[in-house]
Amino acid sequence: MATSTAETKKSEAPWESKRSPSGRNLLRRLGVWSVVALLLFAVLWGLWPKPIVVETGEVTRGSLTVRVSEEGKTRVRNRYVIAAPVSGRMRRVSLKPGDEVKAGETILTAIEPVAAPLLDPRARIQAEAVVEMREASRRQSAQSLEALRESAKIAEQDRDRYRAMKDAGSASQLERDRAEGTALVRAAEVRAAEFSLQVIEYELAQARAALERPENTPAGDWVEVRSPVSGRVLKVMQESEMVVTPGVQILEVGDPADIEIEAEILSRDAVSMKPGDPVSVEQWGNDEPLNARVRRVEPAAFTKISALGVEEQRVIVLSDLVDPPEAAKSLGDRYRVEVRVAVWHDDDVRIVPAGALFREGNAWKTFVYRDGKARLLEVNAGRTDGRFTQILSGLDEGDEVLLHPPDTVKDGTSVIKRDES
């Protein structure tokens, strides 16, 4: 038996002894196909569209206030620029910005007359010649005055003689009248000559003064410049001692506690503003905003170039603070603030978060969350404050809308809320 088995093994070919059984071959094929199936399933799972995670908001009813925001600055309501009233040499201004002044008491500076200018040799010779000419004229006038006085004395003597002969009857009335008139004329000529001599003496004194340079100025010649109002010094234009002319600006005075808010508003926004509109003043150095009200909207606009180089028409809007807190007293002149003017308000409107709306052409649209799908709707939007927008039609209260939807969201796209993912 053993011999037959050995003979059988010898009769088999060598390659037939290495052939695998049929069961093992089948298991190997099943393993390969399983791996292929798993890879295919993974690819299909990766390519299968998944719901997009989104944030949602709700359409509600509430109050809405539309505000116009713009950068502004504080300024002293009433400011006074003190200028030199006369020409002369101004003393150095010792006051500094922030120093307190009182009306009619605080001396801001003083102005003294300017010393006579130096004469060059030619001008001095001319001035000396003028003095000599005035002296000669004075001597001439003095001699003329003496001659007229003698003539007047003779006329008075003749008049007295005719008066004495009146009783004797030896002189006619005509001769007596002529003597009286001659005496009066000679007396008038003497008075005129005296006045002429005074004028020449004044001219001589003036000519001599042109040659002199007084070293000291009398105390009464100083002009003291006092503060016209009570407040504080805002700005010093001329601090050093210098020669000034009338109208030269010296310093600026005002009351920093009496401030107003100035804002340059675009003309298209200023049209909807009126005195009395509430104003919120923010970013003034404290987290709590200040309350203010519009006092004036100036009627004339001006052109201003924006940071982007665009010409803009702007209007100055002035506002007054309403019951400012103690911390607001630290505000000074020309401080930067943020102004938000309320131009429209309604206590009962249908509102939606502004991030839910977007433009397509000339229409406002939004995506509504319904049964796990995003549905595109067209809405009629009204006013907005930047955070919420008024809905006139197209949405109902309680509707859930997608906030800031990505570009991959289309009408009918599957979405899932972020809090449910």
364-396 pLDDT per residue, tens:
999 999 888 899 999 999 999 889 999 999 999
Which pLDDT score, from 0 to 100, does residue 170 have? 63
| CATH 1.10.287 intervals, the chain | 121-209
| CATH 2.40.30.170 intervals, the chain | 57-74+257-420
| CATH 2.40.50.100 intervals, the chain | 79-113+220-254
Contact 253, 231 (CB under 8 A): yes
DSSP state of 97: T
One of 3.40.50.620, 3.90.550.10, 3.30.390.50, 2.40.50.100 is the CATH number of 79-113+220-254, namely 2.40.50.100
CATH 2.40.30.170 fits 57-74+257-420, yes or no: yes
DSSP state of 414: B
1-34 pLDDT per residue, tens:
444 444 544 455 554 545 555 666 777 777 778 8
User: Strand 52-58 relative to strand 336-353: parallel, antiparallel, unpaired?
Assistant: unpaired
Cite the beta strand spans of 59-99 per DSSP E: 60-76, 79-83, 88-90
CA dihedral sign, ordered 179, 181, 182, 184: positive
CA 400, chain centre distance (Å): 46
Contact 339, 319 (CB under 8 A): yes
Which pLDDT score, from 0 to 100, does residue 147 have? 86
Contact 232, 76 (CB under 8 A): no
Q: Which CATH architecture has domain 121-209?
A: Orthogonal Bundle (1.10)
What pTM was estimated for this model as a whole?
0.60
Return mean pLDDT, the chain: 85
Those residues of the chain that have pLDDT short of 50 are 1-6, 8-10, 15, 17
User: Strand 100-101 relative to strand 231-236: parallel, antiparallel, unpaired?
Assistant: antiparallel
Q: Phi/psi of residue 343, each to 5°?
A: -110, -10
Which pLDDT score, from 0 to 100, does residue 163 have? 73
Cite the beta strand spans of 322-419 per DSSP E: 336-353, 358-360, 363-370, 373-384, 388-393, 400-403, 415-417
CA dihedral sign, ordered 117, 121, 123, 126: positive
In terms of Cβ atoms closer than 10 Å to its own Cβ (0-12, 13-18, 19+), residue 156 is middle
Which pLDDT score, from 0 to 100, does residue 116 have? 67
Residues in the chain, total: 421
